[in-house]
Amino acid sequence: MLLECLVHENVECIFGYPGGVTLPLYDAMYDHQIRHVLVRHEQNAVFAAEGYARATGRVGVCCATSGPGATNLVTGLVNALMDSIPVVALTGQVTSKLIGSDAFQEADTFGITRSCTKHNFLVKTVADLPAAIHEAFYIAASGRPGPVLVDIPKDVFQAQAHYTPVDSIHLPGYKVFTEGHTGQIRRAAQMMWEAERPFVYAGGGIIAAGASAELRDLVETLDAPAVNTLMGLGALPSEHPNFISMPGMHGSYAANMGLTECDLLIALGVRFDDRVTGRLVAFAPNARVIHVDIDPAEIGKNRTADLPIVGDVKRVLERINKVLKELEPAEKEKSSAARRDWWKQVREWKSERPLKPEFSDSEIKPQHLMAEIDRLSGGQALITSDVGQHQMWAAQFLRFNEPRLWLNSGGLGSMGFGLPCAIGAQFARPDKLVFSIVGDGGFQMSIPELATIANHALPIKIIVMNNGYLGMVRQWQELFYNNRLSSVELVGFPDPEKLAGAYGFTGRTVEKPSELRSALEAAVKEPGPYLLNVRVSSYENVYPMVPAGGAINEMVFGPPQPVTA
Amino acid sequence: MLQIISLLVENKPGALMRITGVLSARGYNIESLTVARTLDPMLSRMSIVVDVDHTLRAQVIKQMNKLINVLQATDLTDGPAVTREMALVRIRAALNNRTAILKEAEIFGARVVDQSPEGFALEATGDPEKLDEFIAVMQSYGDIDVTRSGTVSVSLEKKKLRLAPPIPRGAGAENGRTKEEEAV
């Protein structure tokens, strides 16, 4: 019955881990067309489902048993909620009669996941099941996407019933605004032409809405400089002439100066995250703000919008672009001189302090590693990343010429995400070269999934950027805690050759800068999975950096750091 | 500052938890909360009084509106609205006080709902400030037990209720897939 519903939602693949109360489901799955991928920990089931969703835009599905299975999903659900990723999680629950009796493997999944999900369901009878499942998929994928959990007691799994197609979804309280206000759209277009120093700030919303083409059109029509946030990388191709870089705490000088000095901030599918804005009062202080978002609660949450538009950014941009072109003949020349100066200024910032990889003859610099991966990827490979320094360097130095190539845990920043995410992504895009760039910390959180990778011979290239430390924490201890390095050294990293060998695939360590290129090439050539442990400089820090609580134009560019926290 | 929120919600398990969750997750303290069925038994009306910084009031309403079980959330703090509360007061009273208590009760428009040799049970309604006064006066006569209903509010403004229409399934792209893809 449940599987029937999933078939109707075009589900191909579920990431999960079985248990007592999901036995009836797994029994039905035994000879069913829907593929089940057995992961090694429920948290990784959500991460893999997210990887699947992030790589394709389709709903990722994961499954866990009651109690510990369900509680293990929590981190992944919050992760999906923070990054607006459509995921449906199915959890087993103890038999309805036993709910509330502290039964074996019982947990109040419905209560626990209330704040971790966009919405959740507890299905009490099999008659309610189809509606709940279809509503779950609809809620997960529509509006601002997010995770939805459906908790299903064992007796509901066991009940025999015929699936009768559900032909409409009735959610009177669920309002999705897509079109945008016509008057506001006209005013937005007018403001865009009038601005002398326009700046486009585009985020994950562009990717969720599939609005890359419309964004590109807007940027080109206005000829405005644009930044993509960490979640939005690839929304505008990295090689596009108007693309600056990522903004924020570890953004480039040009991106942050542009945000600070602009007179019109065109914010598209972004949420003014603190890692982007720095000290909020000093963020784009002289700019009027146009804010387009599908979630009305995002408008004015952190920064008051001078012109808010609630709608699907794809649809809204289509309409803005149309008006922009109508107005173009009359308006274009008015501020064009000022705009030329603006571009000159932006280019100056860019050349003044470019993001440039560092190289050394004696040790592999992390930036060098990213540059080499970038060379192999050419802006085309799927890159999943964990959380920490490597994530920032990857975001700074890798090119992404399409959306949905850069998959990382942005909002929640949960370590251990990179590897399981790559599993989901590779299942979703078997045609793609997938690099999973992870730190030695996050990698050791997800080692169990090497088994999943080996089982399915997924040709994922696992690149461990190994600096022997929890690098980002170490960086903060160095800069803000008098270099008192407390519990950040990771001793005892396993021998990668033996580790990968134990799972039946190839692994090696590379330490010399001269060998890096050939080692990466060998990894890519390998038809199966590959574990490449890259020893990089231990004490390299990510720069530029905006100290926490600082304004984003108060960047620190490198040691020595006269920083007071 | 106290904010009065009026909510129209689906009468479903978990709806209350979601709504209070929006408040508790932000550390706001709920001063009072009432829930009851509306004319439509599928829906409930809630009135919540909560201590929220005035700059965040709009955000709270938006977060409430975002909940799938919430049909409409309105801020009645400043709007034209009538706010009432009921209190049940049990008072122990010596015989010599009884006439005076009844007199006071009458001034506040309170009714006697029970009487016994020990004293009275009184029912009073009014806006919360008036009830505060009533309770203070009754306290001056002796030991009292008070149960207050919490604020109920009704907006005097006509507000159109916008509901999402049922969504036909299979109408367009489903699960991010286009029809073309499905055909393959």
Residue A42 annotated as catalytic: yes
Percent of chain B with pLDDT over 90: 76
B152 beta partners: B84
Residue A139, min C-alpha distance to chain B (Å):
9
Interatomic CA distance for residues A523 and A540, integer angstroms: 25
Which H or E element spans position A444? helix A440-445
> Which chain A residues are within 8 Å of B56, Cβ to Cβ?
none
On whether any CB of chain B is under 8 Å from the CB of A176, the answer is: yes
> Which chain B residues are within 8 Å of A301, Cβ to Cβ?
59
State the helix-helix crossing angle for B98-107 and B128-139, rounded to 10 degrees.
Answer: 170
Q: Give the pLDDT score at A334.
A: 87
Q: Give the pLDDT score at A2.
A: 87
In a domain, A546, yes or no: no
CA proximity to A451, closest of A60, A69, A38: A38
Residue A8, min C-alpha distance to chain B (Å):
9
Residue B43, min C-alpha distance to chain A (Å):
11
DSSP letter assigned to residue B171: S
> Which chain A residues are within 8 Å of B170, Cβ to Cβ?
167
Is the pLDDT at B182 greater than 70, yes or no? no
On whether any CB of chain A is under 8 Å from the CB of B62, the answer is: yes
Interatomic CA distance for residues B109 and B20, integer angstroms: 33
| Residues carrying CATH 3.30.70.1150, chain B | 82-152
State the helix-helix crossing angle for A313-331 and A212-222, rounded to 10 degrees.
Answer: 20
Same domain? A75 vs A154: yes
3 state DSSP class of B44: strand
CA distances from B103 to A524, B50, B98, B126, B145 (A): 92, 34, 9, 17, 19
For residues A206 and A293, the answer to whether their CB atoms sit within 8 Å is no
In this complex, which of A114, A171, A297 lies closest to B164 when CB atoms are compared? A171
Q: Can you say how many angstroms the Cα of residue B25 is from the centroid of all Cα atoms in its chain?
A: 19
Residues 49-68 of A with CB under 8 A from B: 56-59
| Cα three-residue angle A375-A379-A384, rounded to 5 degrees | 95
Same domain? A35 vs A149: yes
> Which chain A residues are within 8 Å of B10, Cβ to Cβ?
172-173
The encoded tokens of residue B75 equal 């801020």
Same domain? A81 vs A223: no
For tokens 């945000």, the residue is A259
Same domain? A102 vs A200: no
Across chain A, which has 565 residues, the per-10-residue mean pLDDT values are: 90 97 95 96 98 97 98 98 98 97 97 96 95 96 97 95 86 91 96 96 97 97 96 96 96 96 97 95 96 96 96 97 95 91 96 92 96 97 97 97 97 97 98 97 97 98 98 95 95 96 97 97 97 96 92 85 47
On whether any CB of chain B is under 8 Å from the CB of A103, the answer is: no
Same domain? A371 vs A490: yes
Q: Name the band, by pLDDT with cuts 50, 70 and 90, for residue B168.
A: confident
What residue type is B41 in one-letter code?
Answer: P
Interatomic CA distance for residues A443 and A468, integer angstroms: 12
**Active-site residue among A1, A15, A29, A42?**
A42
| Cα three-residue angle B62-B63-B67, rounded to 5 degrees | 110
Residue B127, min C-alpha distance to chain A (Å):
31
**Active-site residue among A472, A475, A540, A545?**
A472
Task: Mark yes or no for CB contact B176/A56 under 8 Å.
Answer: yes
Q: Which residue segment(s) compose the domain that A88 sits in? A: 2-158
Same domain? A240 vs A335: yes
Interatomic CA distance for residues A424 and A79, integer angstroms: 15
For residues A116 and A43, the answer to whether their CB atoms sit within 8 Å is no
**Active-site residue among A47, A106, A118, A154?**
A154
For A372-401, the three-class secondary structure string (H helix, E strand, C coil) is HHHHHHCCCCEEEECCCHHHHHHHHHCCCC
In this complex, which of B9, B13, B164 lies closest to A174 when CB atoms are compared? B164
| Residues carrying CATH 3.30.70.260, chain B | 2-79
Which H or E element spans position B65? helix B57-66
Residue A352 annotated as catalytic: no
Mutate one of A93, A171, A207 to test the B interface: name it (highest B CB count within 10 A). A171
Same domain? A375 vs A518: yes
Shortest CA distance from B57: residue in chain A: A301
Q: Name the band, by pLDDT with cuts 50, 70 and 90, for residue B174.
A: very low
The dihedral region occupied by A220, where left means phi > 0, alpha psi between -120 and 50, and beta the remainder, is alpha
In this complex, which of A58, A119, A120 lies closest to B175 when CB atoms are compared? A58
Same domain? A146 vs A46: yes
Identify the domain boundary among A124, A143, A158.
Answer: A158
On whether any CB of chain A is under 8 Å from the CB of B178, the answer is: no
**Active-site residue among A9, A12, A105, A515?**
A105
The encoded tokens of residue A265 equal 């901030």
The encoded tokens of residue B114 equal 């029970």
In a domain, A169, yes or no: no
- CATH number, domain containing residue A15: 3.40.50.970
CATH topology for B82-152?
Answer: Alpha-Beta Plaits (3.30.70)
- CATH number, domain containing residue A232: 3.40.50.1220
Task: Mark yes or no for CB contact B175/A137 under 8 Å.
Answer: yes
Residue A104 annotated as catalytic: yes
CB neighbour class for A235 (10 Å; exposed up to 12, middle 13-18, buried from 19): buried
In a domain, A214, yes or no: yes
Task: Mark yes or no for CB contact B59/A296 under 8 Å.
Answer: no
Task: Mark yes or no for CB contact B177/A176 under 8 Å.
Answer: no
CA proximity to A310, closest of B135, B4, B65: B65
Shortest CA distance from B61: residue in chain A: A297
In a domain, A172, yes or no: no
Residue A417 annotated as catalytic: no
Interatomic CA distance for residues A136 and A395, integer angstroms: 33
For residues A406 and A383, the answer to whether their CB atoms sit within 8 Å is yes
In this complex, which of B21, B174, B176 lies closest to A115 when CB atoms are compared? B21
Question: In B76-118, where do the E strands start and end?
Answer: 81-92, 111-116
Same domain? A348 vs A370: no
Same domain? A344 vs A200: yes
- Average pLDDT of chain B is 88
> Which chain A residues are within 8 Å of B18, Cβ to Cβ?
114
Identify the domain boundary among A297, A322, A352.
Answer: A352
| B165 or B101, higher pLDDT | B101
Does domain B2-79 correspond to CATH entry 3.30.70.260? yes
Task: Mark yes or no for CB contact B59/A297 under 8 Å.
Answer: yes
The encoded tokens of residue A54 equal 């992030």
On whether any CB of chain A is under 8 Å from the CB of B80, the answer is: no
In a domain, A488, yes or no: yes
Q: Strands B152-155 and B81-92: what pairing?
A: antiparallel
Task: Mark yes or no for CB contact B174/A9 under 8 Å.
Answer: yes
On whether any CB of chain B is under 8 Å from the CB of A166, the answer is: yes
Outline where A262-365 has alpha helix (H).
274-277, 313-331, 336-352
Q: Give the pLDDT score at B170.
A: 56
Task: Mark yes or no for CB contact B65/A297 under 8 Å.
Answer: yes
Mutate one of A78, A99, A115 to test the B interface: name it (highest B CB count within 10 A). A115
**Active-site residue among A97, A104, A325, A521?**
A104
| Cα three-residue angle A433-A434-A438, rounded to 5 degrees | 150
Q: Name the band, by pLDDT with cuts 50, 70 and 90, for residue B180.
A: very low
A to B CB pairs, distance under 8 Å: 83
On whether any CB of chain A is under 8 Å from the CB of B21, the answer is: yes
> Which chain A residues are within 8 Å of B67, Cβ to Cβ?
173
Same domain? A44 vs A86: yes
- How many domains does one find in chain A? 3
Same domain? A348 vs A444: no
> Which chain B residues are within 8 Å of A11, Cβ to Cβ?
175
Is the pLDDT at B176 greater than 60, yes or no? no
For residues A67 and A106, the answer to whether their CB atoms sit within 8 Å is yes
